[in-house]
């Protein structure tokens, strides 16, 4: 077999006609089988087979090479079909994920707006919805039992996920230094968002909240020393310009200014939560993220339950009787927010993260359509431009870090596709000129 892989061999090596064909088939099949059915490997194997065919005049060797080419082509086709099927499946999941994220976020926003007409208690609603985070780890454990081949008890799985907080696990010190601050940021983000819904319409709230992506980039650039990207700076400028234009759209009235301040503060708390999580805790696996969110929900129920009671007795968020509480609306808002958090945190397991973020920005036109038919909202030119540039800045922030290199590579590939036709035509013309030159030289030599 080592002799077959050598390039320079004596001309008298093929004493038997069948030996040459057998060697070529073995060589082509070895290159395709050993290195995998990639296009490049198969092409190299085919080129070596063609060189051996040119070196011999045996018709059987030509038939052997022709027989090897269809098998390699079938393997390449099977590989391409398999890769395409995986990508199509992931894209279809992505489309479903975009629709689910968009509907859950827009639905929770619209339903919270309706809830405040009967139950004007934003902090109590925040506390109630955050308590539902306790369900994250139980749902994750059910999925673990269904999917994982090595099943663990809840206690074993809990201890394994607690390693995310350090070698000592979840200690009181770790809880008050690494969990409690994020719980407060979580509550502030949701509470300020709900307060903004009491002041301004859902379209403006959902559009302004998209600025949190720009705030995440600015904080990551300053605190985490992330890579500087000009396109993201432009996106952050667009987000800030959109905030100013949104304020100007209502004429700087105190009611709208307060609402815009609330939603911008909510977006800032959300960005601070994400950046600090990455700086303090790093990246988390699915089980670790589920445990962390369950601990946040449990801590909210244990330590924050006294706040709604105080607000009730001070008549800040007063309810006449428990029968007046719209439990259907409260459970609907909490359930939709829980579904949204599940999709955002665990949807990357089945699709691309960019598609999940796309579902958030698509909730803006959905809320706009609902507001157009359910409440009196005036979509003037300034408001439309403000919503557009905020969404544009959000989409620009979804570009990958090497987006410019991807564009350069794509343009290079498109150029290479056009070059073969042009180079073949030029090569044919050059060959003809060289042929004429050689003819004239030979004729003049004979004349001398």
Report yes or no on 426 lying in a domain: no
What is the gyration radius of the CA atoms in the chain, in angstroms? 33
Residue 3 lies in a domain: no
Is residue 125 within 8 Å of residue 194, measured between CB atoms? yes
Q: Decide if 206 is inside a domain.
A: yes
**Residue in 118, 102, 97 with CA at minimum distance from that of residue 368:** 102
In 3D, which of 392, 187, 162 has the Cα closest to residue 285? Answer: 162
- Euclidean distance between the first and final Cα of the chain, in Å? 54
What tokens were used for 222?
A: 């300053």
343 falls within a domain: yes
Q: In sequence order, what DSSP letters do the residues of 66-98 get, joined into one string? A: HHHHHHHHHHHHHHHHHHHHHHHHHHHHHHHHH
Domain containing 137 equals 85-407
Residue 431 covered by a domain: no
Q: Does residue 432 fall inside a structural domain?
A: no
- Is 43 inside a domain boundary? no
Neighbours of 256 (CB within 10 A): 19
The pLDDT tens digits along the chain (448 residues) read 444 443 333 443 344 434 343 434 433 333 333 333 333 333 333 333 333 433 433 444 444 444 445 556 555 555 555 557 777 777 788 888 889 999 999 999 999 999 998 889 999 999 999 999 999 999 999 988 888 778 888 888 899 999 888 888 888 998 999 899 999 999 999 999 999 999 988 998 999 998 898 899 889 888 888 777 778 788 888 888 888 888 877 776 667 889 999 999 999 999 999 999 999 888 888 899 999 999 999 999 999 999 999 998 998 888 877 788 899 999 999 999 999 999 998 888 777 788 888 888 899 999 989 988 887 677 788 888 888 888 888 888 887 776 666 777 777 777 777 665 555 544 444 444 343 343 333 333 333 4
> Which residue is it, tokens 């809990």?
158
In our burial notation (b when 16+ CB lie closer than 10 A, e otherwise), range 342-354 reads bbbbbbeeebeee
Determine, yes or no, domain membership for 195. Answer: yes
| Contact yes or no for 340/147 (Cβ under 8 A) | no
Total of domains in the chain? 1
Q: What is the 3-state secondary structure (H, E, C) of 240-295?
A: HHHHHHHHHHCCCCHHHHHHHHHHHHHHHHHHHHHHHHHHHCCCCCHHHHHHHHHH
pLDDT at residue 411, as a whole number: 75
DSSP 226: P
């Amino acid at each position: 077999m080592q002799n077959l892989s050598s390039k320079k061999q004596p001309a008298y090596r093929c004493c038997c006609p069948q030996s040459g064909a057998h060697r070529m088939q073995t060589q082509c099949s070895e290159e395709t089988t050993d290195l995998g059915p990639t296009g490049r490997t198969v092409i190299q194997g085919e080129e070596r087979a063609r060189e051996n065919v040119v070196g011999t005049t045996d018709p059987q060797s030509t038939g052997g090479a022709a027989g090897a080419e269809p098998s390699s082509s079938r393997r390449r086709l099977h590989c391409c079909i398999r890769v395409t099927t995986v990508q199509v499946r992931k894209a279809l999941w992505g489309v479903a994920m975009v629709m689910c994220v968009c509907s859950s976020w827009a639905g929770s926003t619209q339903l919270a707006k309706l809830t405040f007409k009967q139950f004007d208690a934003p902090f109590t609603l925040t506390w109630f919805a955050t308590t539902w985070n306790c369900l994250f780890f139980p749902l994750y454990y059910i999925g673990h039992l269904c999917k994982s081949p090595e099943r663990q008890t809840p206690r074993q799985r809990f201890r394994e996920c607690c390693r995310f907080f350090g070698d000592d696990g979840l200690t009181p010190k770790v809880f008050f230094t690494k969990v409690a601050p994020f719980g407060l940021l979580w509550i502030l983000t949701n509470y300020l968002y709900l307060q903004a819904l009491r002041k301004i319409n859902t379209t403006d709230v959902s559009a302004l909240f998209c600025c949190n992506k720009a705030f995440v980039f600015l904080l990551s650039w300053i605190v985490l020393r992330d890579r500087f990207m000009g396109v993201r700076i432009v996106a952050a400028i667009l987000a800030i310009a959109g905030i100013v234009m949104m304020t100007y759209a209502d004429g700087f009235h105190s009611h709208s200014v307060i609402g815009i301040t609330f939603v911008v503060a909510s977006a800032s708390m959300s960005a601070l939560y994400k950046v600090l999580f990455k700086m303090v805790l790093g990246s988390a696996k699915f089980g670790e993220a589920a445990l962390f969110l369950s601990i946040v929900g449990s801590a909210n129920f244990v330590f924050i339950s006294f706040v709604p009671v105080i607000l009730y007795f001070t008549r800040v968020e007063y309810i006449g009787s428990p029968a007046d509480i719209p439990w259907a609306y409260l459970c609907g808002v909490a359930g939709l927010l829980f579904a949204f958090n599940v999709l955002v945190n665990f949807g990357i397991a089945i699709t691309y993260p960019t598609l999940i973020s796309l579902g958030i920005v698509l909730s803006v036109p959905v809320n706009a359509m609902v507001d157009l038919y359910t409440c009196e909202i005036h979509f003037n030119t300034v408001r439309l431009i403000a919503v557009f540039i905020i969404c544009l800045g959000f989409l620009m922030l979804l570009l990958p870090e090497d987006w410019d290199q991807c564009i350069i590579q794509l343009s290079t590939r498109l150029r290479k596709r056009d070059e073969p036709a042009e180079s073949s035509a030029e090569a044919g013309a050059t060959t003809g000129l060289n042929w004429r030159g050689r003819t004239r030289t030979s004729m003049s030599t004979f004349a001398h």
